[in-house]
Amino acid sequence: MKKEIKKAVLAYSGGLDTSIILKWLQDEYACEVVTFTADIGQGEEVESARKKALNLGIKEENIFILDLQEEFVKDFVFPMFRANAIYEGEYLLGTSIARPLIAKKQIEIAHETSADAVSHGATGKGNDQVRFELGYLSLDPDIAVIAPWREWDLNSREKLLAYAGEHDIEIDRKGKKSPYSMDANLLHISYEGMVLEDPDTEPEEDMWLWTNSPEKAPDKPEYISIGYLKGDPVSINNKEMSPATILRTLNEYGNKHGIGRIDIVENRFVGMKARGCYETPGGTIMLKAHRAIESITLDREEAHLKDELMPRYAKLIYNGFWWSPEREMLQVAIDKTQEHVTGEVRLKLYKGNVMVVGRRSDNSLYSEEHSTFEEDEVYDQKDAEGFIKLNALRFIIEGKKQPSRRGSSEIEACKLETGTVSMCEKIKRFFGFAEKK
């Protein structure tokens, strides 16, 4: 039995799915619908959503279209990049990081309009349903959530188009199949579905909408500089810019030089594997630059611990836990490390590659006096002997007290396990147990 809903705020793009959801909410729940369209730099005309909503009977005062590009980059993308967050070694979390902002604004609009429910167009197979709903319930535990894809039987594009026809819902390119499921914002664009569902099929070149192919990128490299203040980029080529303008400008450089394409199979939170292709041109440049400025401003153990925390932080964002106390706790620790991450990084962009060619900072911990291969007066190389002996002390004691832990016993164990001396010899050499000739 459906819960009685008086008013629902729908995350509305004006596309096929959400236009149908709008009408379906009116019919199935007999509720008033509020539409919310977020401009987060997806590169599409968002005002057209207003006309579509009006045509479907939505009151003018119930249509919200917000430009969130600056907030998106400043409060979500930049904090994530302070952590150098990458999911499963490659994915820069372009879709994941947009969902908490959309959820936040939906809840704010629900409170403003006295709505008792929120709704989204994410399917029951993907990650976005989790990301949206964890956000909703973190920000308002009493809000009702309507997820049409988990309720209706319109489980194919053909059924959706038939529903649109029956209810006179105007859909762009009605009847034509879009080759990919795509999501875009100022940080990235993603592609899923159709031929990409075979992980062994190479995508067509014309799939990529943003970036030049590296083969067709300019034959001449281009140099740029990025200025940083406390871990965030604040200028490009010595020109100060707003957060969204910085990312937009870096996207232009990346697109020109074929930077930021990836083709991956990732592990979704719901349990299945999914193949996706992504273009993240500006983010790829930012990640390289940020790690470069950190390399001279962070203490070694601080940097290493931060790298150990990063996979956990990235996983939290991927799985939808942006508003969780553990993500906020990690953010405080990450932001503390950024207090001295200020300076400038110079980069060379060339045919899909981002190469660091220089980095400088007034807070630099790099000491040429100590690092030089020439004669110096600050480092006594004899000190290294004591340093090495102290680090080896436990090995020395162990070798004298428990000699069986080293040497021939490992060789015999290898023989018993593998049944072959040749394999044993390989293992011995790998672990440093090979007998001296």
Active site residues: 17, 99, 128, 181
- Report the sign of the C-alpha dihedral through residues 173, 174, 180, 181, in that order: positive
Angle subtended at Cα 106 by Cα 102 and Cα 107, rounded to the nearest 5 degrees: 120
Alpha carbon distance 341, 436 (integer Å): 49
Q: What are the structure tokens assigned to 187, written together?
A: 């940080």
Q: What are the structure tokens assigned to 251, written together?
A: 């996207």
Q: Any alpha helices (H) in 121-220, and if so which ranges?
A: 128-139, 157-166
Alpha carbon distance 110, 328 (integer Å): 24
Alpha carbon distance 9, 22 (integer Å): 10
Question: Among residues 237, 242, 289, which one has the least CA distance to residue 74?
Answer: 242
Alpha carbon distance 334, 78 (integer Å): 12
3-state DSSP call for residue 356? strand
Alpha carbon distance 248, 254 (integer Å): 10
SS3 content of the chain, % helix, strand, coil (to 5): 45, 20, 35
Q: How far apart are the first and last CA of the chain?
A: 81
**Is 269:319 a contact under the CB 8 Å cutoff?**
yes
Furthest-apart CA pair in the chain: how many Å? 88
Alpha carbon distance 93, 370 (integer Å): 39
* Strand locations in 120-257 (E): 144-146, 181-184, 189-192, 222-229, 232-236, 239-240
Angle subtended at Cα 107 by Cα 106 and Cα 112, rounded to the nearest 5 degrees: 95
**H-helix or E-strand containing 429?**
helix 421-431
State the pairing for strand pair 189-192/181-184: antiparallel
Whole-Å CA distances, 70 to 38, 285, 376: 12, 19, 49
